[in-house]
Amino acid sequence: MAEKIKQQIEAGEYGQATNDWGDLENYIISSSNSIDFYNFLLDSDMDPLGTAASSSNNGLSLRRYARYLSMKGESPSDTLTKIMNGVIKDKLKIIPKNITWQEQSNEVFVALSNDFMKPRINEVDELLSLGVNVTIYSGQVDVICATKGTEAWVQKLKWDGLKNFTNLARTPLYCDGSDGGTKGFYRSYRNLHFYWVLHAGHFVPYDQPCIALRLLKETTQSPASS
């Protein structure tokens, strides 16, 4: 199934590749006791949100980010919608009062289905060549954006600094006030930066908030604090 999707991408059949990727995802889920596509250490019985086995849009599983924000003792009313239209809107001070943030819908995914599987290596190469800072991060138990796949497309870059980047040793990442264990790794050369985040799936800020804050601080060059 993966080889078929690869051939479709090479032929420019991106919409069909998206549909067949959905079939591949369903096959993986059905063959692994409903593995959580966003964290392969969880399955349908272990996932606290009960979303591992849910699917829509021809089998493309779409987890609702807002549900994550009601975990860890948070009130269920503290949804992403409330946060975005409350504290975030107040902080930004640039969003008109008549504009309301809404969660992205399935219709958006369908409308962009022809773009979902398009390689963007050339665009990243162009950004790097222009000196734009490019930061990549990957939770190592994510399936939908798997670390091995991310590493593979990085190696396809034509950027003149890639060899030096690849040859650098990775720097371990830790969190202040934690158990002292390694939380991830980091590698940086010129304007390319890569974070490998351990014990994190697709939702790195939820699984490893300390590392996510550090990543955000270093990416934006801002004095973010814990």
CA distances from 63 to 46, 82, 88, 104, 132 (A): 15, 18, 22, 11, 31
Residue 111 CB partners (closer than 8 Å, separation 6+) = none
Q: What is the DSSP code string of 112-152?
A: TTTTTT---HHHHHHHHHTT--EEEEEETT-STT-HHHHHH
Give residue-wise pLDDT tens across range 9-36: 999 999 999 999 999 989 998 999 888 8
Q: Which residue has the higher pLDDT, 79 or 161?
A: 161
Quote the percentage of the chain above a pLDDT of 70.
81
Contact indicator for 38, 60 with CB cutoff of 8 Å: no
Q: Which residues pair with 133 in a beta bridge?
A: none
- pLDDT band of residue 224 (cuts 50, 70, 90) is low
Q: What pLDDT was estimated at residue 125?
A: 97
Q: Give yes or no for residue 72 having a pLDDT over 80.
A: no
pTM to 2 decimals? 0.80
Amino acid 36: pLDDT: 84
Alpha-helical regions (H) of 31-172: 65-68, 80-83, 89-92, 106-111, 121-129, 147-154, 162-167
Q: At what angle do helices 2-10 and 14-30 cross, to 10 degrees?
A: 170
Determine the Cα–Cα distance for residues 34 and 145; give it in Å rounded to an integer: 17
Whether the predicted pLDDT of 61 surpasses 60: no
Rounded to whole angstroms, the Cα distance separating 35 from 10 reads 29
CA-to-CA distance for 224 and 226, rounded, in angstroms?
7
Domains and CATH numbers, the chain: 2-93+102-111 (no CATH), 121-220 (3.40.50.12670)
pLDDT for 63: 41
Q: How far apart are CA 54 and CA 183, in angstroms?
A: 29
DSSP secondary structure code for residue 84 in this structure: I
Q: How far is 198 from 193, CA to CA, in rounded Å?
A: 16
Amino acid identity, position 13: E
Residue 5 has pLDDT above 50, yes or no: yes
Q: pLDDT (tens digit, 9 = 90+) per residue, 97-117?
A: 999 987 766 788 889 899 999
- For the sheet with 192-197, list strands across it: 134-139, 192-197, 184-189, 171-173
The yes-or-no verdict on residue 62 having pLDDT over 80 is no
Q: Which residue type is seen at 42?
A: L
pLDDT (tens digit, 9 = 90+) per residue, 127-167? 999 999 999 999 999 998 999 999 999 999 999 999 999 99
- The per-residue pLDDT for range 198-220, each reduced to its tens digit, is 999 998 988 899 999 999 999 99
pLDDT of residue 83: 85
* pLDDT tens for each residue of 33-60: 888 888 898 876 665 544 444 444 444 4
